[in-house]
Amino acid sequence: MGVPFAVVGFFLSASFGVLARQAGFSVAQASVTAMIVFAGSAQFAALSVLTAGGGIPAALTAGSLMNARFLAMGIALAPSLPGGRMKRALQGQTVVDSSWALANRGDGTFDRWLLFGTTLPQYVTWTLGSVVGAVFGDVLGDTHRLGLDAIYPVFFLSLLFSELRDAGSRWAALGGGLLALALVPITPPGVPVLAASVVALVGLVRRSR
Amino acid sequence: MTLSYAEVWVLILGLAALTVAIKALGPVLLGGRDLPPWFSRVTALMAPTLLSALVLTSVLAAGRSWSVGAHTVGVAVAALMLWRRCSLVLCVAVAVLVTAGLRAI
């Protein structure tokens, strides 16, 4: 199930490689970023700060804010992970948006093997993509014109549609989406998506009659 | 753009360390114990909430402003096709083609 995402990830990571080279990264630096950061939105956010002339603290802040949603995802996932603190921390590293959503059973628990299994191919292609992009960036040119940025939202939409099981989840999706959009003009990028997770707290009142 | 070679490494290692810490926090603090039933009711709603927020902000926002682009149209067409139960691969292909096509003209 992670394979279509892995294919998409390859192209996105390749476009990261191209942009990183343009921002002054070496081929090794662009590839190592994909390998050890392995968080697309954070990588692109940090890079766009650099390109706009920002410094290291601003780039780290922008990247971490994009990553902030992983806090919410990690909290949701936590009870489904066995083992000691160290082992759980390691398993938590395998979270990426698509694998987290796929491993979600819909009852608040997660299939951790599905999580690991869908992340692994994505890690491989994410790494390969960045190398290809960094090395062959000059040939590919401007990847923006290829329309690849339309891919991820469509994949997330298909995951979202399968999550809309009942009225509760439909209202949560609507509320979360609208809250995130409302926050866009008044908070730094990344914050709106994290803040949207607050809407899930309606789970507290539902069914507690 | 103005960073030196060494500074870029500082940025990469810093971003990697922060990402690891953020991903580890939830599992370290809250794992390994039974949580009350209300907890899973909340987490069950997190997927639709976060996915919806991700989709809408990636399609209708750029940086700190609302914005519509060629990809907005491409994704909207694909959304309609997903709704009509077309295959995912076909929907993605159409979204990319529509987006690239609009940018070409």
> For residue B2, what is the nearest residue in chain A, using CA coordinates?
A53
Say which residues have a Cβ less than 8 Å from residue B4's Cβ, sequence separation at least 6.
none
pLDDT of residue A175: 95
Q: Judge: B27–A206 Cβ closer than 8 Å, yes or no.
A: no
Same domain assignment for residues A171 and A156 = no
Q: Confidence band (pLDDT; 50, 70, 90) for A208?
A: very low
Is the per-residue pLDDT at A64 higher than 80?
Answer: yes
Query: Which of A160, A165, A166, A179 to mutate to probe the B interface, most B CBs <10 Å?
Result: A160
Is the per-residue pLDDT at A69 higher than 70?
Answer: yes
pLDDT of residue A89: 95
Neighbours of B80 (CB within 10 A): 12
Note whether B69 and B62 are within 8 A (CB): yes
Distance from CA of B67 to the nearest CA of A (A): 10
> For residue B49, what is the nearest residue in chain A, using CA coordinates?
A173
SS3 A174: helix
Amino acid identity at B87: S
Say which residues have a Cβ less than 8 Å from residue A195's Cβ, sequence separation at least 6.
A179, A180, A183, A187
Q: What is the C-alpha separation between B83 and B87, in angstroms, rounded?
A: 10
Q: Confidence band (pLDDT; 50, 70, 90) for B104?
A: very high
Same domain assignment for residues A156 and A72 = yes
Give backbone dihedrals phi and psi of A38, rounded to 5 degrees, phi first.
Answer: 50, 50
Same domain assignment for residues A15 and A100 = yes
CB nearest to B48's CB, from A69, A163, A188:
A163
Is the per-residue pLDDT at B63 higher than 90?
Answer: no
Note whether B39 and A80 are within 8 A (CB): no
Chain A CB contacts of B53 under 8 Å are 176-177, 179-180, 192-193, 196-197
SS3 A30: helix
Q: Judge: A56–B5 Cβ closer than 8 Å, yes or no.
A: no
Helix axes A69-77, B5-30, angle to 10 degrees: 30
Task: Return residues 41-100 of B near A (CB < 8 Å).
Answer: 41-61, 63-66, 70-71, 74-75, 78-79, 82-83, 88-89, 91-92, 95-100
What is the token pair recorded at A69? 């949603």
What residue spans define the domains of chain B? Answer: 1-30, 59-105
pLDDT of residue A209: 39
Same domain assignment for residues A188 and A94 = no
> For residue B21, what is the nearest residue in chain A, using CA coordinates?
A89
Query: Which of B7, B12, B13, B45 to mutate to probe the A interface, most A CBs <10 Å?
Result: B45
CB nearest to B63's CB, from A77, A109, A189:
A189
Q: Out of A140-154, B2-16, B38-52, give the one with best mean pLDDT.
A: B2-16
Is the per-residue pLDDT at A142 higher than 80?
Answer: no
Say which residues have a Cβ less than 8 Å from residue B21's Cβ, sequence separation at least 6.
none
Domain that holds residue A175: 164-209
Q: Judge: A150–B42 Cβ closer than 8 Å, yes or no.
A: no
Same domain assignment for residues A117 and A199 = no
Query: Facing residues of A110 across strands?
Result: A104
Pairing of strands B65-66, B61-62: antiparallel
**ipTM for the predicted complex:** 0.84
Same domain assignment for residues A59 and A133 = yes
Query: Facing residues of B62 across strands?
Result: B65
* Beta strand ranges found along chain B (DSSP E): 61-62, 65-66
Q: Judge: A59–B11 Cβ closer than 8 Å, yes or no.
A: yes
Give backbone dihedrals phi and psi of B75, rounded to 5 degrees, phi first.
Answer: -70, -35
Domain count along chain A: 2
Same domain assignment for residues A178 and A88 = no
C-alpha distances in angstroms, A56 versus A16, A37, A192? 18, 15, 23
pLDDT in tens, A147-192: 888 888 888 898 889 888 788 889 999 999 999 999 999 988 888 8
